[in-house]
Structure 1
Amino acid sequence: MTTAILFGSFALLLIIGVPIGIALGAASLLAIAYVPFLNFDLYALGLVSGINSFTLIAVVLFTLAGSLMAQGGISRRLIAVADRAFGRSPGDLGTVTIMACLFFAAISGTGSATVAAIGLAMIPALVERGYDRAYAGAMVASAGGLGVMIPPSVVMIVYAVAAGVSVTALFMAGIVPGIVIALTLIVYNITQRRKMAHKGEAVLHEGSVWAALNQAKLALLMPVVVLGGIYSGIVTPTESSAVAVVYALIVSVFVYKELPLRDIPKMMLDSALLVSAVLVIIGASVAFGRIIALEQIPTQLAEFVLSMTQSRYVVLLATIVLLLIVGTFLETLAAIVILTPVLLPITLELGIDPVHFGIVMIVALAIGFVTPPLGANLFMAAQVGQIPFDKIARRIFPWVVTMVVALLIIAFVPWLSLVLPQVFLDYGG
């Protein structure tokens, strides 16, 4: 009965439009009130302990760093590099757009920031090049999902906390799968452009690739500084987020001189407000997860699933289907903190590596970024590209199918996720 109250009330609150963090908290309080031996201290302790994590500081700082970089001229320089390098390749400006999203993802850590920064510049350019506006918006929304797949990723940090795995290993594990997703999107765009008998055209920016690289050298050095510090052991992922903020601030304000100092307090406030909603979800989910554990739901679910099949491939495929469905209506961070304690024990029983499963989970839920009705990236792309939401939603389906194909490749070829941690970190699972 406790389980029914917990999940039933949570679902009902979501249906009537209650914010996720409040819905998690209210459902937890109702379940606690029903169980005689529990008291409301469990919720208060869970709320505090959920956000009392040194690692979660990185979520705040990487969000601020992404905002600084998006408004400090870094995204424009990254687009110029991508344009000069890939502007005459098959798929022309579409390839440029996806590669620009890949570059920016490596320094932003969030999908929405990637869509906003790249979409503002590239959607009008794509339309001028002959792309349908809704198609261009769908492309940017899809490629923007790379923001959570490529390290440093805020979503990866949250999963690492929830699953108790190494943030560094997870960051390194996301590199190859992120590139696989990007290449898959590029191939799809190329096939579509060839159907329209369209060949590469002149690049938008004049000059050589080397000139663009020289102008963007500090922007391109950012992931080297941040990720290099993590992988070399010089700084922790949390400390690297502080390095990212300082680096972005210096480059944007004092080198590129495109970010006025007077704008920084507002950016800090906006980042704090954005992250505060995430932290409320994480804190509320801890009490929610503790009730799940007390009811032994993960253990019972694992026993049920394993009694049905011992095939890791069947279980992994069923899990992917579940995550794709959940991602369409539940925010990614909330889905991770809720579902990780439930699904991880099942996958561990079947010998699936937790880091590999984390990458699969993150990619599957990131596809929800571009899938209605939630579709956070879709809303962002529609806003920055001035596209009616219903039109961009109709053009997103082929892109979602393309990403699902890439997801299946990543899921059933664990080597793609584990090769870099195994080689450089001596990771053994």
Structure 2
Amino acid sequence: MALALLFIILFLLLIAGAPVAVALGVASLAFTLIDGVPSMVVLHRMVGGIDSFPLIAVPFFIMAGHLMNSAGVTTKIFAFARSAVGWMYGGLGHVNVGASIIFAGMSGAAVADAGGLGNIEIKAMREAGYDTDFSVGITAASSTIGPIIPPSLPLVVYGVIADTSIGQLFAAGLIPGLLMAFSLMIMVAVYAKIRNYPRDDRFRLNVFLKAFVQAILPLFTPIIIVGGILFGIFTPTEAAIAAVVYSLFLGLVVYRTLNFKRILRVSMDTVETTASIMMIVAASTIFAWILTSEQVAQSFANELLGFTDNKTAILLIMMLIVLVVGCFMETIAAITILTPVLLPVAMTVGVDPVHFGIILILNLMIGLLTPPVGMVLYVLAKVSDVPFERCVVATAPFLVPLISVLLLLTFIPELSMWLPTKLYR
């Protein structure tokens, strides 16, 4: 009875539009009151959920991304990507994807990519004669690369909840992120062929070298973060701190585009975003504890395995569940709710937690491109001044390559597991 009430209250609050943290917290509190759990136990569990060293990386990665945007680094990244691949047919579409790959190594968040690079990319593509729908669609799709290629805020949160190595998760995201980029560039080539999209002048070495020199210091950011983690120089948390220090160095010393007012605004944005994430994590901790104590995950596993013991079928069912949840729920909230329930089932059929983390996050990234939540679509609708409904239609074709990569990663685990196996095992 109490468990049923837990899910009923949660569902009703979410439908009513309550913040996810509030919905999780109120539903969990109602359960504990009915079940007679002491309030101190609830508080202890919630505080313990956010008392985690790896979670310190969250505000620092958020701040590093905001600092890079505020310092004007995104324009240099876009110029470098344009000099490298702008000569291809549909050049600015390829530039869009290439810039997202580079920026992915700095921000670790799809919304930051869409908000930071999106304005520059869509404006440039419109001026070059590209259709608005294509410009919005490829910008939205390429922004999902950010949380797959390290550093990644969703992977940090998943690693904490799943008690899995964040370093291994970061390593596992490199190849999948590049596969996503490759699939989107194929899509761009198809569009360019059909619609006869333009390209920049032929590749010019002097232009490329000039853009490279201007962008070389920002390009060191992903090298510092990813290289430092993969080669054991520092932990993901320490890498996040190094990224902030380096971003401040670029903005204050090298480019001198940051001032006290901008840093204060970045700090306030970071505090606001971090607070919302931590509230969700704290509330979901008690929620996950209830699910564990009531053996919900075990019951779900038994039901699913009773329906079928075929690994392929089970993975497809779980991915469908994640895809549906991702359409209605913000990424961090979905991770905190789904991981305690689905991960035990995945491990039962022999899926590695690192592999499961990658396909879970990619699946939820696709959810960012689908209504009714679709946070990336809302950001791009504002940036591009295009109605939300039109953004949905424009992005729909680009779901095909992303879902194709998701299926590849789901059923060929070596694509995500090869690198962490070589580096860590």
Q: What is the distance in 1 between the residues matched to 2:317 and 2:341? A: 14
Q: How far off is 1:402 after superposition?
A: 2.3
| Partner Cα separation in structure 2 for residue 262 and residue 337 of structure 1 | 35
**1:87–1:200 Cα contact (<8 Å) kept:** yes
The two structures have a TM-score, normalised by structure 1, of: 0.96
Contact 2:105 2:226 in 1 (8 A): no
Give the C-alpha shift of residue 2 in structure 1. Answer: 2.2
Structure 1 distance, partners of 2:239, 2:249, is 15
Pairing 1:5-404 to 2, within 5 Å after superposition: 5-36=5-36, 38-202=37-201, 207-404=206-403
How much does 1:203 deviate? Answer: 7.9
Q: Deviations over 1:361-397 (max 9, x none)?
A: 0000011111111010111111111111111112121
* Equivalent residue letter for 2:317: A
Aligned CA distance change for structure 1 residues 371 and 206 (closer, same or farther; 3 Å):
farther
- Which stretch shows the higher mean deviation, 205-214 or 138-147? 205-214
Rounded Cα–Cα distance in structure 2 between residues aligned with 1:203 and 1:276:
48
Q: Normalising by structure 2, report the TM-score.
A: 0.97
> Match of 2:68, as an amino acid?
M
- Aligned mates of 1:261, 1:254 — CA distance in 2: 13
RMSD of aligned alpha carbons = 1.5
* Distance (Å, rounded) in 2 between the aligned partners of 1:391 and 1:262: 36
SS in 1 for 2:106: helix
Post-superposition CA distance 1:337-375 (Å, at most 9, x none) = 111010011011111111000000000001111111101
User: Which SS does the other structure have where 1:395 is aligned?
Assistant: helix
Residues 18 and 203 (structure 1), Cα distance of their counterparts in 2 relative to 1, 3 Å cut = farther
Q: 2: CA distance between counterparts of 1:147 and 1:305?
A: 32
| Structure 1 position 41, deviation (Å) | 2.3
Counterpart AA for 2:279: V
Q: How much does 1:296 deviate?
A: 0.5
> Which amino acid in 2 is paired with 1:97?
N
- In structure 2, do the counterparts of structure 1 residues 62 and 199 end up closer, same or farther at CA, with 3 Å as the change threshold? same
Counterpart residue number, 1:411: 410
Question: Does the residue aligned with 2:317 lie in a helix, a strand or coil?
Answer: helix
Q: Distance in 1 between matches of 2:2 and 2:132?
A: 49
Whole-angstrom CA distance in 2 between matches of 1:118 and 1:266: 19
- Name the stretch that deviates more: 199-208 or 223-232: 199-208
Verify the 8 A CA contact 1:230 1:236 in the aligned structure 2: yes
Give the deviation of 1:406 after TM superposition.
1.3
CA drift at 1:99: 0.8
- Conserved 8 A contact 1:58-1:238: yes
**Per-residue Cα deviation, 1:39-81 (whole angstroms, up to 9, x for no partner):** 2223211221111111111001000000001111221111111
Classify 1:78/1:274 alpha carbon distance in 2 versus 1 (closer, same or farther; 3 Å). Answer: same
Where structure 2 has 5 or more consecutive residues not aligned to the other structure, the ranges are none
Q: Please tell me the residue identity of whatever aligns with 2:4.
A: A
Give, in whole Å, the separation in 2 of the partners of 1:265 and 1:115.
22
Find the counterpart in structure 2 of residue 425 from structure 1.
424
Q: Which amino acid aligns with 2:386?
A: I
**Deviations 1:174-209 (CA, angstroms, capped at 9, x unpaired):** 000011111111111211121113352338999521
* Contact persistence 2:56–2:237 (CA under 8 A): yes
Deviation at residue 31 of structure 1 after TM alignment: 1.0
Moved more, 308-317 or 353-362: 308-317
CA distance in 2 between partners of 1:314 and 1:203 (Å): 48
CA separation in 1, counterparts of 2:372 and 2:410?
25
Provide the C-alpha distance between the structure 1 equivalents of 2:101 and 2:2, rounded to a whole number of angstroms.
44
Counterpart Cα distance in 1 of 2:346 and 2:66: 36
Other structure's SS at 1:107 match:
coil
User: Secondary structure of 1:148's partner?
Assistant: coil
CA–CA separation in structure 2 for the residues paired with 1:134 and 1:389: 12
Question: CA shift at 1:308, angstroms?
Answer: 1.9
- Contact kept, 8 Å, 1:83 with 1:203, in 2: the verdict is no
Secondary structure at the counterpart of residue 351 of structure 2: coil
C-alpha spacing 1:59/1:41, structure 2 compared with 1 (3 Å): same
User: Which residue type is aligned with residue 40 of structure 1?
Assistant: S
**How many residues are matched?**
425
Name the counterpart of 1:2.
2
| Percent of pairs with identical residues | 37
Describe the superposition over 1:13-43 as per-residue Cα deviations: whole angstroms up to 9, x where unpaired.
000111100000000011112213x222232
- Summarize deviations over 1:284-338 as a string: whole Å, max 9, x none: 0011111111111001111111122222111111111111111001011111111
Retained in 2: the 8 A contact 1:176–1:416?
Answer: yes
Shift of 1:140: 0.9
Q: Which runs of 4+ in 1 moved over 4 A?
A: 203-207
